[in-house]
Amino acid sequence: PLVIHREDYRPPRFVVDAVDLDIQLDPELTQVRARLHLRRQSEADDQPLRLCGEGLALLEIRQDGQTLPKDQYRLEEGALLLLHPPRDFVLETLVQIRPIANTALSGLYFANGHFITQCEAEGFRRITYYLDRPDVLARFGVTLHAEQGPHPVLLANGNRIAAGQEAHGRHWVRWEDPFPKPCYLFALVAGDLGCVRDHFRTASGREVALEIYVEAHHLDACAQAMDALQRAMAWDERVYGREYDLDRYMIVATDTFNMGAMENKGLNIFNSKYVLARPETATDTDYQGIESVIAHEYFHNWTGNRVTLRDWFQLSLKEGLTVFRDQEFSADENSRGVQRIGDVRRLRAAQFPEDAGPLAHPVRPDAYIEINNFYTATVYEKGAEVVRMIHTVLGAAAFRQGMDLYFARHDGQAVTIEDFLAAMEGATGRDLAAFRLWYSQAGTPVVHAAGRYDPAQRRYSLTLRQEAAPTPGQPEKRPLPIPVRMALFSPAGQAMPLRGQEEDGAGDRERILMLDTAEQTWIFTEVSEPPIPSLLRGFSAPVRLEMGFGDAQRAFLASHDDDPFNRWEAMQGLALQALLAAIDQSHGAGVLPELLHGALAAVLSDAQMDPAYRAELLTLPSEDYVGEQMAVIDVEGIHCAREALRRAMGSAFGEQWAADYESLAFPYSRDGVSSGRRRLRNLALAYLLASDASYLDRTRQQYRQADNMTDHLAAFSLLVHQPDADVSDILADFYQRWQQHPLVIDKWFAIQASAPRPDTLAKAQALLQHPAFDWRTPNRVRALLGSLGANATVFHAADGSGYAFLAAQIRHLDELNPQIAARLATPLSRWQRYDAQRQGLMRQALEDLAGKANLSRDLGEVLEKSLK
Ligand code: DPP
Ligand code: ZN
């Protein structure tokens, strides 16, 4: 397969000044007429002009109005070559495509009665022949024609210019986008959709129409999306001085979408999971997801659209930066501490394992076979962490100046990560040269910390040392600049003033140490007592910190640290040590270690604490996170130890949990305090049920009586995950109740597939045949197969049955939707982390897949790298 290298980038030889599309929509046969104004940029040469195109049937081709003779062009796999292109000309092509047969959901497809497009990264070439690369920016105009009855709504980017009727019950609408854009931001939608309208007045006083298009029966489910959009628009004005630039901002929700959402100019297309919510069908987590994805796509209008990418290697330039922006938005709108804990939990769950496995790649990759495989946790979440570190070292005000300069310099351009860093440097006079390494070096650094207190000199010295394991293609690692936010606590629990050599007399109680060599030592003076260090506060860098701590220090920070993240981290550390010790001695963690017991008791009795934060402190590390800390992941050992610890926590604090469960029952309300209470209350129920089977009745009662999906689903999930209860009545009831709601039925599939029960695999097998299972709906496929791949005890069953099952499904799915098939294969790629027997079985499953005929590029790349 063809490997694309970043080094091979060349500027486009031709640019497109304007594109005019005329599209006759029909599910079976859609015709796309494209007129491209092409202009040579480079010196004349005799190279052909290569336009990308995939799966297109070319019906007509004209150059400046004249049919192009056959000897003037050539069709190749994936391309149309113009053999003798003039300097400046109009190319007109007419092609035919079949949206109904497009199961890959890239390009133009027809699903559930709607026409939808997805062009990022390289879907536009499945619509027409084009220079499908992000550094070719053109003005787009498009006329859509469709049958009016089934498709009364016709949408595309920009401004609606005109509309009319035509013969055979068809109609047309003309759209023009005044902002030149790369074709990956092109979009169209046609269907029978209702619209929720509102508006936003920008800081400079312009009225923007806000429109959310959904099927008519969902018109009541758009309030959260609309509200989040308005708040995001106001936030970007307040924090970054960025206004929206068109008169209309449209969002369309579809049930059939590969990704979460897409930031097409003026016409965002969303997976309905991130738009639709009612209290009775959406959980608090769903509401939060909507807020952050709506904001994320909105923020792309400046970081992604107005300033776009030179090439796909720069993907993190828009994604890392925009994730950082949406995380900050959510932190400002909700609880900053809880937000940070959630963001780090996600980073550790998805990105750390990726960075430690065969698919590891830098935030800016050097090479790819299929770019769709690089929409990863590394590009997104680690990319956001790198931006966050820059924000940390510059400070908020200087960071803002850097962003202002970035926008001023590059508005309307397609740029690189260097351009971003240069703007940050240009505006602030700071040298960020060392930070470039974060973009090019893969792998998660480990920082070892060692402190030494000298009572005679009243000095504390802190030594930090960094190292990183090799990753594919990068055997040697260089030291990275790692900002370590820190404080020192006195034994009485007070943050001590920090006095050191460099910052004489600074005296502040928190400092950022910049570790930018392999090892460095800092000396703090006038330290009157042996301090307990709090390091990497707020998780100030995406690293693994090894503190050489004992449980006494962890317990101390768990009760005294005033950094919400580090307090949580200390609690997690205590629980983690208890679990690792239990696994090591293969006893069941049936007794709570004293220090953990004390820390939990303190949190449980602190009624002043924000319930959401309290729930975070009381939640055990996930099985995956525990596994990450082990040389060889002991699947059963982890599961047994964690279950035993949950039981022990349940019984040790039975009265407190019961009191919380009773006292936190409030009538439903959507605000953050209420959702925090629900979270804590459902956590209490989980602990009660873990230790006392008599709570089954109480759980069933909650399932029946809940007036909101959060509580209903929490009870449902607890019941279905009971190792040996017969819950067929509950499963049938839930399905019966919610079968008209696809997003809820996704949960029904997902919870069954993630049950740690011996019959889960058989269940999953049967669910493949369920009438509601649909191979063409990515949400449904992810709900069943993605959940199964993440279900450690079932997927990693010692006999390899989980591996064989998933591989067989991936094999089938690859024929329909390669992007999703490749994603589902990632759990198999982590084979190095398991025992020899599982390694063999996982490799076998990968090899069986690799032997398949007609592998997609997407899946092929993942398999090839996994088997290396
Ligand atoms: N660009 C989309 C997003 O992350 C995904 N393709 O917002
Ligand atoms: Zn994005």
Nearest Cα residue to atom 3 of ligand 1: 262
Is residue 269 within 6 Å of ligand 1 at its C-beta? no
Ligand 2 center to 261 CA (angstroms) = 8
Contact predicate 125/50, CB 8 Å: no
Is residue 326 within 6 Å of ligand 1 at its C-beta? no
pLDDT (tens digit per residue) in 83-97: 999 999 999 999 999
- The pLDDT assigned to 587 comes to 65
- The pLDDT assigned to 504 comes to 46
Say how far apart CA 799 and CA 98 lie, in whole Å: 43
Contact predicate 596/652, CB 8 Å: no
Ligand 2 center to 497 CA (angstroms) = 41
Measured CA distances, 258 to 118, 273, 281 (Å): 9, 12, 22
Is residue 319 within 6 Å of ligand 1 at its C-beta? yes
Q: CATH assignment of 308-440?
A: 1.10.390.10
Segment 131-157 mean pLDDT: 98
Is residue 255 within 6 Å of ligand 1 at its C-beta? no
Q: Which member of 297, 354, 385, 616 is catalytic?
A: 297
Is residue 262 within 6 Å of ligand 1 at its C-beta? yes
DSSP string, 81-138: EESS--SEEEEEEEEEE-GGG--S-SEEEEETTEEEEE-TTTTGGGTS-B--STT--E
Ligand 1 center to 242 CA (angstroms) = 20
Nearest Cα residue to atom 5 of ligand 1: 262
Cα-atom radius of gyration of the chain, to the nearest Å? 28
pLDDT (tens digit per residue) in 840-867: 999 999 999 999 999 999 999 999 999 9
Ligand 2 center to 319 CA (angstroms) = 5
**Residue 327 CB coordination number (10 Å):** 24
Segment 631-651 mean pLDDT: 96
- The pLDDT assigned to 505 comes to 46
- The pLDDT assigned to 46 comes to 84
Best CA proximity match to 170, nearest among 324, 349, 25, 333: 25
pTM of the model: 0.98
**Angle subtended at Cα 198 by Cα 193 and Cα 199, rounded to the nearest 5 degrees:** 130
Ligand 1 center to 262 CA (angstroms) = 5
- The pLDDT assigned to 502 comes to 63
Atom of ligand 1 nearest to the CA of 293: 7
pLDDT (tens digit per residue) in 231-250: 999 999 999 999 999 999 99
Choice from 265, 300, 305, 823 to test ligand 1 binding pocket (greatest atom count within 8 A of CB): 300
- The pLDDT assigned to 42 comes to 86
Best CA proximity match to 376, nearest among 390, 360, 356: 360
Question: What is the arrangement of strands in the sheet containing 207-214, beginning at the earlier edge strand?
Answer: 194-201, 207-214, 248-254, 267-271, 261-262
Atom of ligand 1 nearest to the CA of 319: 4
Task: Clarify whether 297 is annotated catalytic.
Answer: yes
Is residue 310 within 6 Å of ligand 1 at its C-beta? no
Best CA proximity match to 160, nearest among 182, 138, 139, 141: 141
- In whole numbers, what is the pLDDT of the chain averaged over residues? 97
Is residue 820 within 6 Å of ligand 1 at its C-beta? no
Confidence of residue 1 (pLDDT cuts 50, 70, 90): confident
pLDDT (tens digit per residue) in 670-695: 999 999 999 999 999 999 999 999 99
Ligand 2 center to 322 CA (angstroms) = 6
Does the pLDDT of residue 601 top 60, yes or no? yes
- The pLDDT assigned to 631 comes to 96
Say how far apart CA 41 and CA 451 lie, in whole Å: 60
Could you check whether 4-275 and 446-541 share the same CATH topology?
Answer: yes
- The pLDDT assigned to 433 comes to 97
- The pLDDT assigned to 725 comes to 87
Q: CATH assignment of 446-541?
A: 2.60.40.1840
Atom of ligand 1 nearest to the CA of 297: 7
DSSP string, 142-180: EEEEEETTT--EEEESSEEEEEEEETTTEEEEEEEEEEE
Contact partners, residue 254, CB within 8 Å, separation at least 6 = 111, 112, 114, 116, 269, 270, 271, 272
- The pLDDT assigned to 507 comes to 57
**Residue 445 CB coordination number (10 Å):** 21
Is residue 563 within 6 Å of ligand 1 at its C-beta? no
Choice from 258, 312, 373, 375 to test ligand 1 binding pocket (greatest atom count within 8 A of CB): 375
- The pLDDT assigned to 45 comes to 85
pLDDT (tens digit per residue) in 182-241: 999 999 999 999 999 999 999 999 999 999 999 999 999 999 999 999 999 999 999 999
Atom of ligand 1 nearest to the CA of 120: 6
Nearest Cα residue to atom 6 of ligand 1: 262
Whose atoms come closest to the Cα of 303: which ligand? Answer: 2
Atom of ligand 1 nearest to the CA of 304: 1
Contact partners, residue 550, CB within 8 Å, separation at least 6 = none
Is residue 286 within 6 Å of ligand 1 at its C-beta? no
Is residue 297 within 6 Å of ligand 1 at its C-beta? yes
pLDDT (tens digit per residue) in 437-493: 999 999 999 999 999 999 999 999 999 999 999 999 999 999 999 999 999 999 999
Ligand 2 center to 303 CA (angstroms) = 9
**Residue 851 CB coordination number (10 Å):** 10
Choice from 271, 308, 314, 319 to test ligand 1 binding pocket (greatest atom count within 8 A of CB): 319
Ligand 2 center to 297 CA (angstroms) = 6
Q: Are strands 14-24 and 138-147 parallel, antiparallel or unpaired?
A: parallel
pLDDT (tens digit per residue) in 351-376: 999 999 999 999 999 999 999 999 99
Is residue 122 within 6 Å of ligand 1 at its C-beta? no
Q: What is the helix (H) or strand (E) element at residue 4, kind and residue range? A: strand 4-5
Nearest Cα residue to atom 1 of ligand 1: 262
Say how far apart CA 520 and CA 160 lie, in whole Å: 60
Please name the fold of domain 4-275.
Immunoglobulin-like (2.60.40)
Say how far apart CA 415 and CA 776 lie, in whole Å: 36
Sequence ranges of the domains in the chain: 4-275, 308-440, 446-541
Alpha helices in 653-671 (DSSP H): 654-663
Instruction: At 363, list the tokens.
Output: 């935030």
pLDDT (tens digit per residue) in 808-844: 999 999 999 999 999 999 999 999 999 999 999 999 9
Ligand 1 center to 792 CA (angstroms) = 28
Measured CA distances, 236 to 159, 202, 387, 388, 463 (Å): 23, 11, 17, 17, 40
Segment 536-542 mean pLDDT: 98
Is residue 120 within 6 Å of ligand 1 at its C-beta? yes
Q: Are strands 414-415 and 308-309 parallel, antiparallel or unpaired?
A: parallel
